[in-house]
Structures are given as structure tokens and as C-alpha cells.
Amino acid sequence: MASTSKRVPIPKNGVDYRGKVVLAPMVRSGELPSRLLALKYGADLVWGPETVDRSMIGTTKRFNPTTSTIDFTRLPSNSSRLQPSVQKESLIYRLHPTREHGKLIFQIGTASPETAVEAAKLVAEDVAGIDVNAGCPKPFSTTGGMGAALLQTPDLLASILAALVKEVGEVYEIGISVKIRLLETVEKTEALVRKLCKTGITGLTVHCRTTPMRPRERAIREQLRMIAEICREEGVACLMNGDVTDKDEALQLAQDYGVDGGMIATAAEANSSCFRTKEEGGLLPWREVVTEYMKTALEVENKWGNTKFLLSQLMPGKAELFRKAAACMSYRQVCEVLELRDMVDLAKDVDERLGINEQKETKAMKKAKHQNKSAQAAVGNMGKQRSIDKESRSPLSERGVGAMPAMPAMAV
Ligand SMILES: Cc1cc2nc3c(=O)[nH]c(=O)nc-3n(C[C@H](O)[C@H](O)[C@H](O)COP(=O)(O)O)c2cc1C
């Protein structure tokens, strides 16, 4: 691994990103149980899913004694029109203060230094670092000037990072980092990286694709050495991202390209035991990972729609159990289908606490089922559908809603 020549001091409560293989930020696929599983299997750090600053601002922070988590919740924007008795708070962000201690990076979606700082302050005491998403190419992000749009407004991006460094990083002594994509030319990427490294950040991740590139296109690694070199000069840790399949490969690539570590997204979404080195036994069979995932999801009372979605990612589409699990309407049913007998009682309790009603499909589930039926009719084959969906995820499932087959994917 490359050694940095000029070192930015590591913040007291923050992280040293060097020598790390980390879980990438993933909307839906990076919720708490997925992060805890990645940590269990050997991820050194975990990024939470991008959370837009404006959705964090106005949240209430509470310790949840049932799950031992810290929950950030808020009333939905239409709540003032509802009777107080039916107003239900939405869970915006959930973290585990002990199991994620010193390992969690909160990724923020933002287009303004002021709102970025305001939102980051809300979580700063509970995380090891704040990361700015400057790579999401999806219109919901870019239309608001966030994500990959920030690559086109480098002065704004630099001002956001500088404000976070001064008002959050230095005050709470945590790391501030940024995740970017490659620009169209080497020169443009170089100028951007130089600018961002001057803001006081301690980490920079480069997703080795340009904004228009689709996830199925191979990552481009030619610019990595140059980016790593600039980061080294400035004492900023550089992580590489894009087509990294496991921890061994990440460490090898880091050596080959002179970067400080690697970030894994899709491979970890499919099987988070990719963070185990070959020496530690390598990739585990999906049944074992699914069992561990269910145990964790129940412990932290994960949203049912999100758990169901994750199962669709972790289970092979051709497995008989995949179809059976897809038809389940509750934690209890899924535990029975997967023969997780020792979890059934807990599952019943969790179903009750989360208000999961096996008899009643929620409106969102009905809508998702309908969408999935149409999508399946178009493709005709569930296994085939899953691989297609990984390329183009629908806004519906981005909100964590939906029945299991044909869960669409997002490429950020
Ligand atoms: C389901 C999914 C959700 C994602 N959400 C985010 C996100 O919230 N923030 C972000 O910066 N990137 C996001 N990404 C992009 C990944 O972090 C990563 O940059 C990309 O998938 C390339 O890495 P890979 O080749 O290992 O998959 C997402 C990717 C996937 C597959």
C-alpha cells in the first residue's frame, strides 16, 4: 500500500481511511443490517446510503432501547393534513452506536454548504466521518445540483467540503471525505482532484467510471495512479471503487495502483462475505449469508420492505426458495420458508411491533406487485429479470418499497 508523503492529521474521533477495504454507500442496499453484516465479515469501514441533507434537517434523534439503535425520524411532509392519531413518523436514518462505533461514514446528498453543515451536525457525534456524494448520475440527485452535478460545479463542491471540514470535521474531530467519478478528460479529473484535496478533506474515493457510463461497463483504471499521486502529495487517503469483487482483490489493486484502499458495492450487495479474505475462508454459501442477514435484520427491526428487497439480492433467482420467499408477507413467513425455526418467535414479535399484517397487502406492496408483474411479463423470466434490474432500478424500490421478485436496481 502506498505511503502518503504529507499527512493530514487523523481526527481524534475520525478515521484513517488508509489500508481499508470498505462497504460502498448504497441506497437501500446499505441500510443497517447490510452494514452490520459487512462489518461482521471483515469490512473495515461502512458507508451508509446517501441521505439528502434536507431530509435529515428537522429529524428527531432518539435512542431506541428495543434495537439499541439511534434513530432519526420525522413526520412526513403531508402529516399536517392528517389527524394527529394517524400521524406516523418516518425513519430517515438508523445507526448502531456500538456495533458501528468508529466505522460508520454518513454519506450526504447536498448542493449547499449551509444545509450540508446543518444536516451533518445532527449525526456528527455518532459517526466516524461525513462523505459528500459527488457521483450519483440519477436525475433525482442531479436536478437538485447534487451528486454528479457537483462535478460540473467544482467551486461549489469545494466550498461544501471546506465548510464541512471547518464546521463539522474540526469541531467534532471526525473525517470529511468525498466520492467522485472520473471526468471526461485526464486533465479535468486532475484539476478537480487537486482542488478538492486543498479543502482539508482526509479521504477521497474515486468511482472509476465517468458520469454517463452504465454499471455494466468496465471500470477505467488508467487515471488511478495520477489521482493517487495527487492525493499522496496532499496527504489525502485515496480509495478506489469500481468492479472490485473481494477484499483480496481490493488489497492487490491498491498495491498495483498505489491507492490506499478499496471500496466494494455490487459484489457486497450480492454476498457481503466478499470481505472475508481467502485466508479467512473466502466467500460463504448464500444460505449462510441469508441466515445471518435475517438474524441481523430481526435484531435491528429493519423495515420489512427493505429486508425483502435484500433477500432478493442475496438469494439466487433460480433457487426454489427464492420464489417462496418472494411470496412471503411477513418476517414470520420468511423464517418458516427458510426453515429458520429458532427465529420464528422473534419474527412474530417483530411483525407485531412493525405492524406487519400478513393478511393485508399495503397499498405500496400492491403497487410494487403490479409493477413487478408488468416488468416480468416484459422479460418473461425471473432470473433474467434480476440481472436486468440491477442495471436500471426503479424509483419505487429506491424508496425501499415493494414485493420481492424483480426488484429494480439503481446505479449511482
Ligand atoms: C444499489 C446501489 C445503490 C447505490 N447507492 C449509492 C449511494 O447512495 N451513494 C453513492 O455514492 N453511490 C451509490 N452507488 C454506487 C456505488 O457506491 C458504487 O460507486 C458503484 O456501484 C460502483 O462500484 P461497484 O463496481 O463495486 O458496484 C450505489 C450502487 C448500487 C448498486
What does the H/E/C string look like for 149-173? HHHHCHHHHHHHHHHHHHHHHHHHC
Please count the other Cβ atoms lying within 10 Å of the Cβ belonging to residue 320. 7
Lowest mean per-residue pLDDT among 26-35, 37-46, 232-241, 381-390: 381-390
Per-residue confidence (pLDDT) for residue 6, from 0 to 100? 58
Counting residues of the chain whose pLDDT is more than 90, the rounded percentage is: 76
> In this predicted structure, which of 3-12, 145-154, 179-188 has the lowest mean pLDDT?
3-12
Q: Which atom of ligand 1 is nearest to the CA of 390?
A: 31
Residue with cell 434480476: 386
Q: Which residues pair with 69 in a beta bridge?
A: 64
Q: First and final CA of the chain: distance in angstroms?
A: 27
- Closest-CA residue to 285 (of 18, 405, 2, 293): 293
Q: What is the number of the ligand 1 atom nearest to the C-alpha of 409? A: 1
Mutate to test the pocket of ligand 1, among 21, 131, 207 (most ligand atoms within 8 A of CB): 207
How much is the pTM? 0.88
> What's the Cα-to-Cα distance from 109 to each of 90, 164, 378, rounded to whole Å?
18, 13, 34
Q: Answer whether 136 contacts ligand 1 (Cβ < 6 A).
A: yes
For 131, phi then psi, to 5°, come to: -120, 140
Task: Report the C-alpha dihedral over residues 58, 75, 405, 319, rounded to 10 degrees.
Answer: 70
From 136, 208, 231, 238, the catalytic residue: 136
Spacing, Cα 176 to ligand 1 middle (Å)? 19
Ligand 1, atom 16: closest residue by C-alpha:
265
What is the C-alpha to C-alpha distance for residues 143 and 216, in angstroms, rounded to an integer? Answer: 24
Largest alpha-carbon pair distance within the chain?
Answer: 62
Mean pLDDT of 285-307: 97
137 lines ligand 1 (CB under 6 A): no
Q: What is the pLDDT of residue 401?
A: 28
Mean pLDDT, residues 209-220 taken together: 95
Q: Give the pLDDT band of residue 399 (cuts 50, 70, 90).
A: very low
Taking each helix axis as running N to C, give the angle between helix 113-123 and helix 154-164, from 0 to 180 degrees, rounded to the nearest 10: 30
Fill in the amino acid letter for 350: V
324-366: pLDDT as tens digits: 999 999 999 999 999 999 999 999 999 999 999 887 655 555 6
Sign of CA dihedral 307, 61, 99, 11: positive
Ligand 1, atom 22, lies closest to the CA of 242
Q: How many residues does the chain have?
A: 412
Lowest-pLDDT range, 13-22, 186-195, 358-367?
Answer: 358-367
pLDDT for position 173: 95
- Counting from 1 in the atom list of ligand 1, the atom nearest the Cα of 245 is 26
Q: Report CA(267)–ligand 1 centroid distance (Å).
A: 11
Examine the pLDDT at 397 and tell me if it is beyond 60: no
Respond yes or no: is residue 208 known to be catalytic. no
Question: Residue 313 is inside which H or E element, if any?
Answer: helix 304-314
Residue nearest ligand 1's atom 12 by CA: 412
pLDDT: which is higher, 6 or 155: 155
Between residues 78 and 327, the one the model is more confident about: 327
Averaged pLDDT score across all residues of the chain: 87
